[in-house]
Amino acid sequence: MLSIYLGASLRSVVDDGALGDMQPLMPKALLFAFVMVSVMTAVGLYKANLREGMVGMLLRIGISILLGVGLMSLIFYVFPSLFLGRGAFGLSFAVALTGIILARITFFKIVDQDALQRRILVLGSGKRAGQISQQLRRKVDRRGFAIMGYVHIAGEHSAIDAQHVLHLDVPLLEFCDQHQIDEIVVAVEDRRKGFPVHELLDCKMSGIEVVDMLTFFERQSGKIRLDLLHPSWLIFSDGFLTNSFRELNKRFFDITASVLILVLTWPIMILAAIAILMESRGCGPVFYRQVRVGQNWELIEVLKFRSMCVDAEKGGPQWAGKNDSRITRVGAFIRKTRIDELPQLLGVLKGDMSFVGPRPERPVFVEQLSQSIPYYAERHRVKPGITGWAQIRYAYGSSEEDAIEKLQYDLYYVKNHSLFLDLMILFQTVEVILWGRGAR
């Protein structure tokens, strides 16, 4: 927002009186801020686990600036009253680019300072505790918190490097006070032996947060670990809430997003249909319909652009593999760019699907996976979506192992779905398309 004011002020220095011609600036500053933050979210600049270095970050910033210029130019063309003037417009973007780069360099210099770290103590040093050091071993995975050590429990075989294992000779609360511990993560192998219930209660009542491993991993990784999951956690944990107001909000979001995207992409859909007809010389259908499993296990029909040859499943249903020979040349492009998914917007408007939700699977695969993967059926508690948390966090699934990994993200979404999360997923889907991740 400041960059609009600074850009306009710099322009007025060159052309006296120009500032008055650009008033009022507040609506333009708000619009510019909204567009730029949305575009930066879409190219992945607000991902918590962004692992790229300075060059990768600068590349994403450059792409976001180019997209921002394009979007703002389109808005100025449609709404001329919002136009700022080319000189002020260019100066504002220059100021914004400088500010964004300086802010991010400053952030990365101070974010890992001890004063900004959440100090965590892990209770346990066995195999469970070892999963924390293995799964969150990268520096970027531990951004925002620091593990101060792993407390050894009597009778537990340590799976942690000895230098990180703590043998306490003082009460747990006293140790936490001495080392300013903010949170205790319980990772004990067997809670029936040597579990310090009263000491943990003492810490909890003294203001130190106490969480189990599953809750800790949910917060840090954005998924619910199946290997740690048990029914009682699902019953007593927060989340999995639904009510009429939330459903009304989600329906309004679905309709708004679908109509907006249909309006923006109908020329692309027409071109895709023509390309499919030309490649098949008019001998194959443009669309294909397929039965999938929807909310509460009801069967729904999805509509997509045909991206495979007509007899692709003459040998029976199968997952799409890498470099699948059944995919046509046009099909490869529309799958990579997700254009093949656009007709599903009609299913969203109809109410069979949501814009954001777990990917709808075919009944034959749902039946197989439900028998071999615990809690797989729970992903159908909400409407399936065109895009979703699992789709932006994990690559294309084509095996049972992939289905297990994606289910952990789907369960996280079922537990925590909200309008804000849906908006974040919508923006980050743009990044997936721009970078071509996870498509086959």
Instruction: Look over the chain and give the mean of its residue pLDDT values, rounded to a whole number.
Output: 87
180-189 pLDDT per residue, tens: 999 999 999 8
- Find the mean pLDDT for residues 209-235: 91
- What pLDDT shows up at residue 274? 93
CA distance 7 to 244: 46
| 249-275 per-position pLDDT tens digit | 999 999 999 999 999 899 999 999 999
Please state the φ and ψ torsions of residue 328, each to the nearest 5 degrees. -75, 170
Percent of the chain with pLDDT over 70: 91
With a pLDDT cut of 90, the percent of the chain lying above it is 48
Query: pLDDT category, 136, cuts 50, 70, 90?
Result: confident
User: What is the structure's pLDDT at 282?
Assistant: 64
Taking residue 372's Cβ as centre, other Cβ atoms within 10 Å add up to 10
Give the position of tokens 């210029």.
69
Task: Give residue 200's pLDDT.
Answer: 95
**For residue 170, pLDDT beyond 80:** yes
Among the ranges given (73-77, 120-124, 193-197, 296-300), the one the predictor scored with the smallest mean pLDDT:
193-197
Confidence (pLDDT) at 375 = 94
Which CATH number, 3.30.9.10, 3.40.50.1220, 3.30.70.270, 3.40.50.720, labels domain 114-221?
3.40.50.720
What mean pLDDT is predicted for residues 212-227?
A: 92
Is residue 4 within 8 A of residue 32, CB to CB? The reply is yes
| Calpha distance 13→288 (Å, rounded) | 60
Question: Average pLDDT, stretch 98-104?
Answer: 92
The predicted structure's pLDDT at residue 20: 56
- Write down the pLDDT at residue 293: 95
* Strand, coil or helix: 18: helix
Residue 180 burial by CB count (10 A; 0-12/13-18/19+): exposed, middle or buried? exposed
Q: Which backbone phi and psi does 291 adopt, to 5 degrees?
A: -80, 130
Q: How confident is the model at residue 344 (pLDDT cuts 50, 70, 90)?
A: very high
**Strand, coil or helix: 110:** helix
Q: Model confidence at 440, in pLDDT bands (50, 70, 90)?
A: low
DSSP β-bridge partners for residue 78: none
Q: Would you list the domain boundaries of the chain?
A: 2-110, 114-221, 244-311+320-435
Strands in 209-212's sheet, in edge-to-edge order, are 165-166, 145-151, 118-123, 183-186, 209-212
b/e for 386-418, b at 16 or more Cβ within 10 A?
bbbbbbbbbebbeeeeebbbbbbbbbbbbbbbe
Region of 86 (left: φ > 0; alpha: ψ -120 to 50; beta: rest) is alpha
**Which residues, 6+ apart, have CB-to-CB distance to 327 below 8 Å?**
307, 308, 320, 335, 440
pLDDT band at 148 (very low <50, low <70, confident <90, very high): very high
Q: Dump pLDDT digits (tens) for 325-336.
A: 788 889 889 988
